[in-house]
Structure 1
Amino acid sequence: MGDRYAHVGRSATPEEQAARARAFAIDPATMTSVRLAIDADGGVLGHAALRRLQHGPSVEWELKRLITVPAARGRGVGALLVRAIEADAAAAGATRVILQTGDRQPEAIGLYRRLGYRPVPAYAPYAGVIAEGLYFAKDLA
């Protein structure tokens, strides 16, 4: 990802850089589920996590850190991980899952759209901070 977003933050002020760092920071206490995909030999193919975001009285469930190793891409591993996180969210009482991704990740954007995610407005903690962010949600039925 570094090369795709190398331009981001070059002209940012220290305050803007700190705001970005806060937006992307994850409190481990908010992580409710982590899923790994492994191959028959025990090698990791990818992972994803679920974060509980509390905004005052409302709660959102956010898909975080969906990553697949290059050799696993295009083999359904990402979709498998997303579905597992959606199941975890539903089991926790979620009615939808939200996520943030970058505008320079067409593969991820395509995956999310194929899985039924639709664009939504930016949400905290990214709103007003992550200009290159794209935001999606999927209702769980």
Structure 2
Amino acid sequence: MIRIFRTDAKHPDFKMLVAKLDADLAQRDGDEHSFYDQFNKIALIKYALVAYEEGVPIACGAIKQLEPNVMEVKRMYVTPEKRGMGFATMVLSELEDWARELGQKTCVLETGKRQPEAIALYTKNGYTVIPNYGQYAGIENSVCFEKHLLG
């Protein structure tokens, strides 16, 4: 049975999964990792999810306020042995529901071009490519997405 738990960035299982995500990204991003890492600190994240299967943490994700009516999706991760089973879509859907409950209109996110599975996930779930925003503007390895949330 899958259980998705709403929490914040202080939760130990969220922190543990984020550490695994950071290790994975450090390998993928190589020398560019320190640039991206500066934008992925979790201390200020108020809205985080941890997905559990049989009590074991297997996936996480978070949203944070980017600007009025816009939430940014952050720290999406599924443990390697659980990938391809729909857990990322479950977490993403729950994050979108939470954003709607908070009165938000849009979710945006950034991912790397070296993460084709992430690009496929967001495309499959109705996200469209937008010009790179904020700190990602002009960054060649970044691709940004948005999805308008319907009430």
TM-aligned CA deviation for residue 120 of structure 1: 0.5
| TM-score (norm: length of structure 1) | 0.80
- Structure 1 residue runs of 5 or longer lacking an equivalent are 10-16
Question: In structure 2, what is the equivalent of residue 135 of structure 1?
Answer: 144
The equivalent residue for 2:130 is 120
Q: Relative to structure 1, is the Cα distance of residues 101 and 46 closer, same or farther in structure 2, using a 3 angstrom cutoff? A: same
- Tell me which of 80, 83, 87 is aligned to 2:93: 83
For residue 49 of structure 1, the aligned residue among 34, 53, 62 is 62
TM-score, normalised to structure 2, is 0.75
Q: Does 1:3 align with 2:17?
A: no
Higher helix proportion, which one?
2
Structure-2 change in CA distance of 1:111 and 1:22 (3 Å): closer
Instruction: Return the alpha-carbon distance in structure 1 between the equivalents of residues 36 and 81 of structure 2.
Output: 30
How many residue pairs match? The answer is 126
The answer for unaligned runs of 5 or more in structure 2 is 1-24
Alpha-carbon shift at residue 125 of structure 1 (Å): 2.8
Contact in 2 for aligned 1:23/1:126 (Cα 8 Å) = no
Distance 1:37 1:21 in 2: 25
Which of 1 and 2 has greater Rg?
A: 1
